[in-house]
């Protein structure tokens, strides 16, 4: 209770943040992307007793299984009303995120006005609101990142076994929520090994305990994947985007987070490079100055560095979606912690009263400008969401206006006529009908394309408004197949495909 009494402003901020999430999702609930339906279908499969399989009846191996496991618990409680309850689940996660942020900001001795500015920035951040208005695993992962920072600080203050175990358990769960969670494991391991207060014997012991526990769920998940699919994390291809281009996209995301982003958008590579240098410099400075890890901003800066390096490396060596806000959002708040800490430290370091007044005025102006920019963007998002729902499979075009989905929902026999059914939007078909449909092959997987072409006859459900440039186009299908129209609608066609 003492924690709540000393952080009533953080609690109020948490409730405001929850209200914002619910307001943005009022029209049609959380936004649903293909990834969302991967998670939902895996949760459905687990509840049915089959284990974690996805909407096309293939093993769920592209992502770790903890988030679908959490969804299965919610689905067990709410059943068919799950999608109605999902916005409240995200709102609670966002509220926890804001409250934890407030607790940590309070403990870093921030002056109150800085704490309130930072909390308002978090509440109205388009970066975070994009995440918490979608059914994505990042909603859970970002909260786990904050929890890890909070627990880690307690460990580095006391070096107690209890807090070491808690830190390792949070890291293990995070790594089984997102593959990028290995950056949390790296953060904890590096900080333990570089600790100055521990003797080497105890340091090695604690690092070993942390390492074994933190990688446990991740390793179990990988072993399961290999057994089911003979791959560690599904089919992954070599990267096609060079490091410097990934750094450009990285800088563009950072620019969108900053005030006056229209100006900073003009030099994203320089911005990304400078940011990495600053974060790396902070880490090395505190290391060589022998400044201990028992501070939120040091742990946050280390995580930001580890996560950034991990994402840039993975995006370069593996074929990956373009670096975007969703991928980088987990270090948004840790980055904010680090920046706010050093700004406040600079303010306290300035001796001249006039200089302090000028610097304070500048900081308040920049903070308010950021909040104004964020609230304007968030309000525009609210207006768009309120008109037609959040973009994706929960907007009105898919949810209400699709004649093809309405037909599939009322004619389930099409899925049970003995033929394989493919679709370029298999996710949407599963969401509406709960029927397992194969994904139309992506041209980069030649073995899947060959299998599709060699099948004598199959059903193809084609949606005109599905924008996935990776899968075969109708023209490409027609070079090897005769396309006979079975049913035609405003938004798509059901074809019978037979070999030429």
| Residues 459 and 494 reside in one and the same domain | yes
Does any domain span residue 397?
no
Q: Is the separation of the CB atoms in 187 and 302 below 8 Å? A: yes
User: How many angstroms separate the CA atoms of 76 and 498, rounded?
Assistant: 41
Pairing of strands 492-499, 481-489: antiparallel
What is the tally of structural domains in the chain?
Answer: 2
Q: What is the pLDDT, as a whole number, of residue 449?
A: 92
The position carrying tokens 């099948």 is 455
Q: At what angle do helices 353-388 and 332-349 cross, to 10 degrees?
A: 160
Complete DSSP assignment for 244-308:
HHHHHHHHHHHHHHSTTHHHHTT-HHHHHHHHHHHHHHHHHHHHHTT--S-SHHHHHHHHHHHHH
| Residues 355 and 459 reside in one and the same domain | no
Does any domain span residue 85?
yes
Domain that holds residue 383: 2-388
Does any domain span residue 181?
yes
User: How many angstroms separate the CA atoms of 498 and 84, rounded?
Assistant: 41
Q: Is the separation of the CB atoms in 224 and 51 below 8 Å? A: no
User: Of 328, 356, 388, at which residue does a domain stop?
Assistant: 388
| Residues 344 and 439 reside in one and the same domain | no
| Residues 457 and 381 reside in one and the same domain | no
Q: At what angle do helices 112-123 and 8-24 cross, to 10 degrees?
A: 20
Q: At what angle do helices 353-388 and 112-123 cross, to 10 degrees?
A: 20
Complete DSSP assignment for 190-247:
HHHHT-SSS-HHHHHHHHHHHHHHHHHHHHHHHHHHHHHHSSSSS---B--S-HHHHH
| Residues 195 and 314 reside in one and the same domain | yes
Does any domain span residue 25?
yes
Q: 10-residue block means of pLDDT along the chain (500 residues)?
A: 73 96 95 96 96 94 96 93 95 97 84 90 96 97 96 93 97 97 96 88 94 97 94 82 94 90 83 93 80 77 95 89 93 91 77 81 89 94 92 91 94 90 95 94 89 93 90 93 94 93
Q: What is the pLDDT, as a whole number, of residue 122?
A: 97
Q: What is the pLDDT, as a whole number, of residue 112?
A: 85
Phi, psi angles (nearest 5°) of residue 478: -70, -15
Which one, of 33, 39, 32, lies nearest residue 62 by Cα?
39
Does any domain span residue 245?
yes
β-bridge mates for residue 483, sequence order: 497
Give strand ranges (E) for 407-468. Answer: 420-423, 438-439, 457-463
Q: Within 13 Å and on the Cβ side, how many CA atoms surround 399?
A: 17
Q: Is the separation of the CB atoms in 463 and 423 below 8 Å? A: yes
Task: Write out the two tokens for 399.
Answer: 């949810």
At CB < 8 A and 24+ separation, what contacts does 206-211 make? 206/159, 206/164, 209/164, 209/165, 209/168, 210/164, 210/167, 210/168, 210/171, 211/185
| Residues 467 and 319 reside in one and the same domain | no
| Residues 406 and 355 reside in one and the same domain | no
pTM of the model: 0.93
| Residues 186 and 146 reside in one and the same domain | yes
User: Of 388, 423, 455, at which residue does a domain stop?
Assistant: 388
Does any domain span residue 383?
yes
User: How many angstroms separate the CA atoms of 296 and 317, rounded?
Assistant: 32
| Residues 14 and 111 reside in one and the same domain | yes
User: How many angstroms separate the CA atoms of 105 and 116, rounded?
Assistant: 9
Q: What is the pLDDT, as a whole number, of residue 395?
A: 92
User: Of 338, 354, 388, at which residue does a domain stop?
Assistant: 388
Question: CA of 498: how far to CAs of 192, 408, 451, 458, 483, in Å?
Answer: 62, 21, 13, 7, 7
Q: What is the pLDDT, as a whole number, of residue 113?
A: 87
Does any domain span residue 186?
yes
| Residues 260 and 206 reside in one and the same domain | yes
Q: What is the pLDDT, as a whole number, of residue 362?
A: 87
| Residues 416 and 384 reside in one and the same domain | no
Does any domain span residue 394?
no
User: How many angstroms separate the CA atoms of 15 and 37, rounded?
Assistant: 28
The enclosing H or E element of 79 equals: none
| DSSP secondary structure code for residue 134 in this structure | B
| Residues 52 and 151 reside in one and the same domain | yes
């Amino acid at each position: 209770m003492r924690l709540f009494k000393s952080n009533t402003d953080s609690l109020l901020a948490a409730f405001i943040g929850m209200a914002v999430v619910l307001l943005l999702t009022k029209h049609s609930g959380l936004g649903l992307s293909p990834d969302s339906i991967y998670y939902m279908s895996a949760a459905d499969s687990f509840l049915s007793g089959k284990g974690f399989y996805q909407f096309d009846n293939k093993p769920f191996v592209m992502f770790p299984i903890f988030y679908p496991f959490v969804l299965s618990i919610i689905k067990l409680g709410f059943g068919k009303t799950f999608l109605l309850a999902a916005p409240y689940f995200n709102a609670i996660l966002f509220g926890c995120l804001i409250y934890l942020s407030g607790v940590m900001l309070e403990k870093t001795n921030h002056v109150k006005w800085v704490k309130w500015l930072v909390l308002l920035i978090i509440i109205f951040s388009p970066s975070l609101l994009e995440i918490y208005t979608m059914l994505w695993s990042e909603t859970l992962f970002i909260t786990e990142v904050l929890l890890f920072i909070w627990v880690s600080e307690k460990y580095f203050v006391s070096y107690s076994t209890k807090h070491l175990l808690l830190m390792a358990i949070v890291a293990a769960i995070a790594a089984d929520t997102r593959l990028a969670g290995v950056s949390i494991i790296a953060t904890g391991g590096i900080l333990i090994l570089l600790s100055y207060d521990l003797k080497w014997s105890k340091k090695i012991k604690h690092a070993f305990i942390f390492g074994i526990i933190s990688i446990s769920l991740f390793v179990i998940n990988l072993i399961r994947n290999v057994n089911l699919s003979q791959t560690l994390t599904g089919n992954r291809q070599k990267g096609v985007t060079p490091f410097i281009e990934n750094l450009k996209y990285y800088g563009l995301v950072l620019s969108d987070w900053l005030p006056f982003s229209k100006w900073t958008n003009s030099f994203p590579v320089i911005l990304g490079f400078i940011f990495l240098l600053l974060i790396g410099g902070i880490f090395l400075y505190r290391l060589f100055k022998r400044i201990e890890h028992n501070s939120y901003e040091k742990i946050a800066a280390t995580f930001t560095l580890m996560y950034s390096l991990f994402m840039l490396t993975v995006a370069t060596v593996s074929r990956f979606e373009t670096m975007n806000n969703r991928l980088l959002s987990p270090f948004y708040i840790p980055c904010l912690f680090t920046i706010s800490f050093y700004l406040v430290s600079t303010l306290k370091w300035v001796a001249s009263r006039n200089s302090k007044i000028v610097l304070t005025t500048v900081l308040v102006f920049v903070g308010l400008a950021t909040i104004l920019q964020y609230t304007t963007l968030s309000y525009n998002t609210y207006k768009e969401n309120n008109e037609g729902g959040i973009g994706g499979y929960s907007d009105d075009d898919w949810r209400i206006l699709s004649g093809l989905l309405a037909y599939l929902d009322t004619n389930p026999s099409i899925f049970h006529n003995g033929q394989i059914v493919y679709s370029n939007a298999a996710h949407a078909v599963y969401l509406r009908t709960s029927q397992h449909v194969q994904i139309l092959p992506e041209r980069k997987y030649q073995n899947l394309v060959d299998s599709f072409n060699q099948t004598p006859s199959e059903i193809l459900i084609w949606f005109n408004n599905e924008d996935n440039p990776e899968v075969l186009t109708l023209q490409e299908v027609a070079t090897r197949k005769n396309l006979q129209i079975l049913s035609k609608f405003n938004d798509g066609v059901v074809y019978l495909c037979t070999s030429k």
